[in-house]
A and B are shown apart, each in its own frame.
Chain A
Amino acid sequence: MSRYNIVLILQFILLLFVQAFLLSNINFFGFINPNLYLLFFLMYRFDGDRTALIILGFLMGLFLDLLTQGSGGHTIASLTIAYLRPYIIRFSFGVNYDVPMGMIRGSLINQRITYFLQIILIHHLLLFVVVYFSFDNIFTIIKNTFLSTFFTIILVYISLGFFKEKK
């Protein structure tokens, strides 16, 4: 087991617990909860094993749902985002992306923003669609998606500073 894998597992557990016991209880304005655990998917190595990421994404969502008494929205959303991640990366950074160690260094700011926005937006959209699961609530879904995306992206940007330090 390499050092990379240990870091990965620690990240996984840390983000899971922070999300489940801290961030999911914020209820900013009554309903906004930033989902910082998406940092795990954002930070996962670009050349890492995709199959492992899908399984990890599923487990992450499942544990989160179990810990927060959620119905299963996080499971489906994070599983899907783990599956879609390679396509999003290709879309954001171009076909011949060459940043194997992560997107922190050596990538343009606008590419990075596109990447963050897509992952977070798709995740939140799926999450709220699954949670509400009804056409009548379409406006609630859109409103929650955009507001939560906004707060999540702010939090993700702040947190990225810590990861930079480690590097």
Chain B
Amino acid sequence: MRQLINALIKYKNTLLYLGLLILSTIILSNRSFYHKSTFSKGALAISSNFNLIGTNITKYMDLVNQNKKLIAENEKLKALELMHQNNIEYENRVYEGFGYEVKLARIIKNSYQLARNYLIIDKGAKDGVALEMGVISSDGIIGIVNQVTDDFSSVLSILHRDLKINAGFKKNGAYGSLVWEGNHPKKMKLNDISSLNTVSIGDTIITAGMSNYFPYGIPIGVVTNIKKPELEGYLNIDVELFSNLTQKKFVYFIDNIKIDQLKALKNE
């Protein structure tokens, strides 16, 4: 305490000067509008910079919550998008009216260089994943769930030689089955399209909606090449996928709510 008082006495002139300087600055800013605005401009710049740092930190801390919100919104929008493609009128009860439920999952293992490729996603039976659910991404289809544990599930990639996806043309509805021949992770073949149909290069291929896995209308790719048979028969169509399966991080799995009814019908 005594040292503090000593220091105060020692620096009394400087302290007095600084105090009076502050006082005169206040007088200055009160007497002159120009100085006032200049001071407040400077103060604003300083305070806004500090605030920016603070906001950035809080923003960063809040990223987890933001992500959750975005995921929820994405799920809703994806459902809306699919519903729109199915030409179902908008209802407030999106999921029930639409028949498909969409949930987000993260890919934790992905392969595309084998002949039969699998993915593993971080959602399992606890999160509502079941066998034979369709898995899509933001710009195309990914595959079909074939194994489920409590927390994880394995997905048959569409880059799998034994998997056939029901797909068709957007413009006229001609449909066939989409298979991967095992060469290039963006190129697939569309078989079983009758040569009666008029198709051309550049046509869009979408899911045809006749399987239980995918709803109608998810864009898959474009036609790049067509080989016509010499006689009547089936066209040989090359398709280039929209989505690049070698760099996916998030996927949506689609729960077909009414699959039981479909299965019951098929069994009869």
Contacts and interface: CB of A to CB of B under 8 A. Distances in A.
Contact of A76 (B16, B24, B34, B38): B24
Q: B-side binding surface: helix, strand, loop or mixed?
A: helix
| From B14, B24, B25, residue with most partner A Cβ within 10 Å | B24
Contacts of A83: 13-14, 17
Interface in A9-46: none
Interface in A65-92: 65, 70-73, 75-76, 79-80, 82-83
A30 B23 CA distance: 31
B24 A72 contact: yes
Given A51-B13, A83-B13, A133-B38, A72 B31 contact: yes
A139 B23 CA distance: 28
B226 interface: no
Contacts of A51: 12-13, 16
Nearest to A86: B13
B175 to A, nearest CB: 72
Interface string B184-199: 0000000000000000
B20 A134 contact: no
Q: A-side binding surface: helix, strand, loop or mixed?
A: helix
A62 B34 contact: no
Contacts of B23: 58
Contact of A71 (B12, B14, B16, B32): B32
Interface residues of B, number: 17
A71 B14 CA distance: 24
A70 B34 CA distance: 13
B35 interface: yes
Contact of B38 (A50, A54, A65, A134): A134
B28 A130 contact: yes
Contacts of B21: 76, 79-80
B27 interface: yes
A48 B31 CA distance: 32
A50 B32 CA distance: 30
B34 to A, nearest CB: 7
A50 B24 contact: no
30 contacts: A50-B13, A51-B12, A51-B16, A54-B16, A55-B16, A58-B24, A65-B27, A71-B28, A71-B34, A72-B24, A72-B25, A72-B27, A72-B31, A72-B32, A72-B35, A73-B28, A75-B27, A75-B28, A76-B24, A76-B25, A76-B28, A79-B20, A80-B21, A82-B17, A83-B13, A83-B17, A130-B28, A130-B35, A133-B34, A133-B35
Interface of A: 50-51, 54-55, 58, 61-62, 65, 70-73, 75-76, 79-80, 82-83, 130, 133-134
Interface of B: 12-14, 16-17, 20-21, 23-25, 27-28, 31-32, 34-35, 38
